[in-house]
Each structure stands twice: as structure tokens, then as C-alpha cells.
Structure 1
Amino acid sequence: MTDLESSLQISGNLAPQTRVEIRAKLPGTLSRINVDIGDRVRAGQVLATIDRREIDAQVDAASASVNVAIAGVEAAEAGLANATLEQERAKNLFERGALPKQRLDAADTARRSTAAQRDLAQANLAQAQAALRRASEIQRDATLTSPVNGVVVERHFDAGSLVGPGDEPVVVIADVRVMKLEAGVSELEAGRLRVGMPARVTAQALPGKTFEGRLAAIAPEIDARNRHFKIEVRMSNPDSALLSGMYGEAAIPLQQASQVLAVPRDAVTTRDGKRVALRIDNDTIQPVPVTEGLTDGVVTEIASGLQAGDTIVSDARQDVATGTKVNAVLAR
């Protein structure tokens, strides 16, 4: 009697859950690159810098234009305030009969003109500020930073290299604290899976080590090319033992049974359309119909047909006739 677990076995290459390509957003020459393959980086850390001398000059010019525009607005507002005061004086004098209508109209016209000049100055200021914001954005784009904590897994350029938006990434950052294993499963298998199921992950390169993971995602749509659903298992990798590209296997438990009668998987075969085991009675082989239960791929549960203590042929695939006399020996 033994405890038995039926599980879904999947395999594939391990990859970081998060992998970010850092590309140049503008053309230029790399003045500095601060990291190399294998370096650990923090979110916000400066990875590389594009030569900013011309960009800095553009920012300085845009900033100066903003200052000029601010001065223009201040002058226009002062002129408007003075024109408004003159208009009020002209209106008071006109109402007392001390000023002709022509002079009042001239004061009104002067005020409207200075108001238009103030509006134009404000528009010029808004335009200059927009140009400064754009220049500042370009200036920021000249500094390449990491958006995540992780490890540099690729570096494609050195200081002095010309880079641009259409080029390959300057560096690639991977967060290896959480790894993933992706695989395809059949419709029948997908129907037995649920997000959150536990998974045990092993890697060929790390014999004897098991990593606890979870089924993180099941694709809602089947891949028409192979009739498989894509699934993703994620596992913690706190000591960075798992590396990107390692071949991994994951076992997702589906069913469990305690203290059941189990035999080697190959001890059950099909004869005359029935599943049978070859039991040895009085040193003679007798096919016995059996009902199978769970299997873990190595042993199979026998729900009926055999009893504990029965002696059977460990490999029923052998062409052995019913009634054949044998000497039973313990299988190794």
C-alpha cells in the first residue's frame, strides 16, 4: 500500500518573469555606459548616457526664451494697467464735460491695443514654455535608466557607439527573482487546471533541488496551430540559482490518494480488449482483469482485481501465454 499522486508534467526553458529592453529614444553617441553583463541594477539607476552637449545647449536656449517671454508678459501687463488707468481718467473727464469724445475713444482704443499685446505676450510665453518642456524631455531621454530591479543579461554597445531608436537594445535587464516556465497543454488537460494550483519545479542543471511554484496563467484561447492552451508556471528564485534558458520541468498535482494498492505501470497491459495484470498462482501465470485508478507515470493504482500480497509479473508487455510455468523472483 502506498500514497499516490497524479500530476501533470510539463517542461520547457525557464525565463525571467520580467525582461526589459532598454533602447535609445533619440539618435546620438553614447558618452558613457555604466553597466556590464551580470551587473545587478536598481530601478531608476543610470545605465548609459547619450552625448548631451548639443541637447543641453538647446535646453539653455529654450530656458532663455522663456525668461524673455516672461519679461514680455510683465511689460505687456504693465502697459495694460497704465492704459486701463488712462481710460478711467478719460472717462471721468468726459463725464464732467472736460474731455472731448474723441479723446475718450482714443483711450479706449489704446486699452484694447495693450490688452491684445498682453494676450500675444502670454501666447508667446506658453509657446516658449512648451518648447522648454520638449527640450527637457529630449534631455531626459538622453539618460537611459532601468525601470526595474534586476540583472543585466545583454549589452550590445560600448561608449562611443552611435545609437538610435531603430537599433537593437543598448542593454537588456531581467528581474530573475521570479522565473516562469511556459508550456502547451491539451484541451483535456487544460480543463483540469485552475490558476493558483501548486507546482514543483526542477531544473536539469540543478539536480536534487526543487522550487515551489504556482500555476499563474492559462490562456483563454487555444492555439489553432497545435490545439494547445498556453500555460505559465511561476516560481520564486530568491538566491538566483535558476538562470534564464535553463531546461526545467514542472509537476502540477491533480489528484491524490492515500494508502492504495499500486503496481508498476508496465505490470498492466491490454489483452483481448481488457486491461489485465499477470498474476502468478501456484507458479502459473494467469491474466486477471483489473480496474486502474490514479497513476504518477511510474506506478498505477489498482482499484479492483488484485489484492495486497498477490505476486504478479512486473512487465506484462512480455508475450507470455496463460498457464506458463514460472519461478517467481523479486523484481529489481
Structure 2
Amino acid sequence: MDPNEPYPAGDESFDPAPHRPSGRALALTGLVALLGFGALVATGAFPRVRARATARGDHQRAMERVARVLVARPTRAPAGSGGVTLPGSILAVQETQIHPRASGYVRALRVDLGDAVTAGQVLAVIDDPEVGQALRQAQSAVAQARAALQQARTQRELARAEAARYATLVASGFVSQQEADARRAQSDVSVANVSAAEAALASAEANVRRLQEQVSFATVRAPFEGTITARGVEVGQLVTAGSTAGPAMFRVSKTDVVRVMVSVPQAYAPGVRVGDAATVRLREYPGRAFRGSIARTAGALDAETRTLLTEVRVPNADRALLAGMYAQLTLQLERASAPLYVPSTALVVNASGTRMAVVEGGAIRWRAVQIDADLGDRVAVATGLGEAEQVVVTPSDRLTEGMRVRAEMAPTPRAPSGG
């Protein structure tokens, strides 16, 4: 066709307008693009964003879980005169364990746990037939020794009389001097025989006394007035004299007065004086104070604990104070300076020494400390700690030097009044 020739009129197979995509094709193309973008996001950007958010959350939770510590500031009581309260142990004023001194079987028990006894009271009886038989034999030997002594004395008197008669006869010339000397020698022998018989009798009597004492050991008696606080035997049980390997037969305790033993720290030791007043308190008796006085001290500090062992005696007429109880003892003492007090849970003792963890500038710092006294729920620190320090109350093994932490204040540890 000639390009200059016009289109044939009425021919509808030719569209002079430009070609436009249909709506369906456009929708399909958009859907493919959207799916491709979604796949790209799913495999790339979104997981990275989610991972970063998760990491930030884990880090925040880790910081809140590991690095949060409770701290407390040390307290210090004022120096001077005042009461210091220390933990002590209550002991009987007199106590002993009774072991058997005779061998045999326990025939009878006359007392039991908790019974009050008097001095000399029979506690038990041991059946020891061998000692009884030996005693009877010894008594027979004493009777024989007495008879032998009587015979020796009779022979001595006879020998003396013959020696005197022969001495008279030799002067008259009726017997020879040799015969007179022989009679005098027999008299001397008879005297020696009497001495030997007397010694034999004394030995036999001593053996009887020894066996009688052994027989008395079969009767077990209380050495002093007190209470039976332990019983370790039963009727029919075999016991051995002098054996301390097993349990004691009985334990007798005298508790009308009790001893309270307390270890006084070095800082207060110079102020301890015999005769000074002391007050004992127990949780079991709220509101009640037991009055006593210092009876004695060890006179020297323990080289390991640097404390002075002190005994306080307290009247206990109603037997309210029991041996073995834990008590709080308050002493009125003088001191030049007072240590710092922190909770005892803050103390860490390991191969690195005696240390405490403190928070300084938001980080953990470990301090080497010297303990002046262990007071139970708190310790007295002599050196190594400042009064303004923030002490970690319960340090864990995960706390390392320089570790960043978040400190929260715990209740302030109580300082003892005046001490």
C-alpha cells in the first residue's frame, strides 16, 4: 500500500489510536511485584530488625536479673561507756559424766532422765560377781594371816624364855656357851617372824579394803546435787570399768546457777572487770531479763579470734535457763573507739581472704577487711571498710571486680546500743 494513500473508508481492522494494557494485566503485574517485595522483606530486613529488638530485650532483662544488688551502709555506735550485746552459750555451773568403775551387767537403774538427785544418791547397781568372790577370798586370807601372827607371837615368847633360861644356866656352868648362843639366835628369829606375820596381815587387810572399794563401785552414786540430763545405759547392759569409748552411764548437771560463756572482742576486752553486772535475755522469754555478774575471764585473748573468753554467772532458782541455750548477753563496757557493723551475710571468706563487696561508681569493688567480732546477725569490721561505703548485703560468686551493677538500698543494719 502506498503510504500516501489514505486508509480505506469503512475498514475496521485498523485502529489509528495507541495500544493500552487491559485492567486484568495491570492487576496481575501489581500482585507479582507485591509478592516479590514481601519475599525480599521476609528474607532480609524484617528478621534483622526483629533480631535487634530481641537482643535489646534480652540485654535489658539480663541487666535487670544479674546486675541488681542490695546494699547497706555500715553503722557505728558512739565511743565511750555503754552496753555491748554479744551472743553467749548457757552452761551448767557444774556438770559431769559418770562412767562405770566396775565391770559387769547393770542390775538396776534407780533414776531416769530429768530426775533431780542429791549428793550420794544411788543411780544404778552393777552386778560384779567376780569382785565379790575375790573379796571373800581376801577376807579368808586376812583370817589366816591373823592366826599366823598369833602363832608367831607365841613362838617368840617361848624363844625369849628359853634364851633367858640358857643364859642363867651358862653362868652356873650347866650348859655350854654355844647352846646359850643358839637359844638367843632362835629368839631373834622368832621376833623377825612376828614382824613378817604382821606385814602379811597388813597386806591382806589392804587387799580386803581394795576389794571392798571395788565392790562399792558397783553401786553408782551421784557426785553432787543436780539433775540427770543424760542416761546412756539400760538394765542388763554390759559395762566395763574405766571404759570411756562408749556413752556415759549418766550425765549430772547442777543448774541452780548457770554459766553464760561469751567471747568479748578485743576492742572491749580492756573494759571487762570481774564483778561487773551483766544482763541475759532470750527470745524464749520476751520482756524478761536475767541479772548476773562477771565471774572470771580467761586472762588472755584467743590468738585466732582475738576475743576474751568471759564467764558470767546467773542465778537460776526456777530452772528457767537450760544448759545449752543460746542467749544474748549485755555487758556495760568502756571502749575508746567502736568498729563498723555490717550484716554478717556480706562477709565472704575464701582463698582470696576475708573480703566484702562494695559498689563504687556503679561498679563492684572488693575490699579486704579485718573482722573485730562475729555478733551473729552482724559482724564488726575493724579495718578495710569506710563508713560511707555501699556494702553488698548478699554477694554472689558472679560478682567480679569492676562489674557494672545497679545498687538498691536495703534496711540499715542495727548497731548495738553503746557498742
TM-score category, normalised to shorter length: 0.7 to 0.9
SS of 1:232's equivalent? Answer: strand
The answer to whether 1:215 aligns with 2:294 is yes
Structure 1 residues 164-179: aligned runs within 5 Å: 164=240, 165-166=242-243, 167-179=246-258
Q: Distance in 1 between matches of 2:270 and 2:177?
A: 91
Match of 1:163 in 2: 239
User: Shift of residue 176 of structure 1?
Assistant: 0.7
Matched, 1:150 2:261: no
Shift of 1:100: 1.8
DSSP 3-state at the match of 2:333: strand
Over residues 24-67 of structure 1, what are the superposed CA-to-partner deviations in whole Å (9 max), with x where a residue is unaligned?
12322111111111000001111111103332222121112112
1:259-289 Cα distance to aligned partner (Å, 9 max, x none): xxxxxxxxxxx78xxxxxxxxxxxxxxxxxx
Amino acid at match of 2:154: A
From the CA coordinates, give the structure whose radius of gyration is larger: 2
Counterpart-to-counterpart distance in 2, 1:143 and 1:106: 57
Of 301, 304, 311 in structure 2, the residue corresponding to residue 225 of structure 1 is: 304
More strand by share: 1
- What's the CA shift for 1:299? 8.1
Q: Does 2:146 align with 1:106?
A: no
CA deviation map 1:106-133 (0-9, x unaligned): 2112212222322221221122122112
Q: Which amino acid aligns with 1:248?
A: A
The reply to whether residue 94 of structure 1 matches residue 170 of structure 2 is yes
Asked if 1:59 corresponds to 2:138, the answer is no
Task: Flag as ranges the 4+ runs of structure 1 deviating above 4 A.
Answer: none
1:122 aligned residue (198, 220, 237):
198
C-alpha contact (below 8 Å) 1:11/1:181 kept by paired residues:
no
Contact 1:204 1:246 in 2 (8 A): no
Q: Offset at 1:298?
A: 4.9
* Distance across 2 between alignment mates of 1:221 and 1:26: 41
Q: Distance in 2 between matches of 1:216 and 1:110?
A: 71
Measured in 2, the distance between the counterparts of 1:85 and 1:197 equals 80
Is 1:43 matched with 2:119? Answer: yes
Taking the aligned partners of 1:213 and 1:192, their CA distance within structure 2 comes to: 17
Distance 1:299 1:156, change over 3 A: closer
Question: C-alpha separation between the residues in 2 aligned to 1:186 and 1:47?
Answer: 43
Which amino acid in structure 2 is aligned with residue 211 of structure 1?
A: F
Identity between Structure 1 and Structure 2 (%): 30
CA distance in 2, matches of 1:142, 1:191: 51
Tell me which residue corresponds to 1:16: 92
- Aligned partners of 2:237, 2:92: CA distance in 1, in Å? 28
> How many equivalent pairs are there?
260
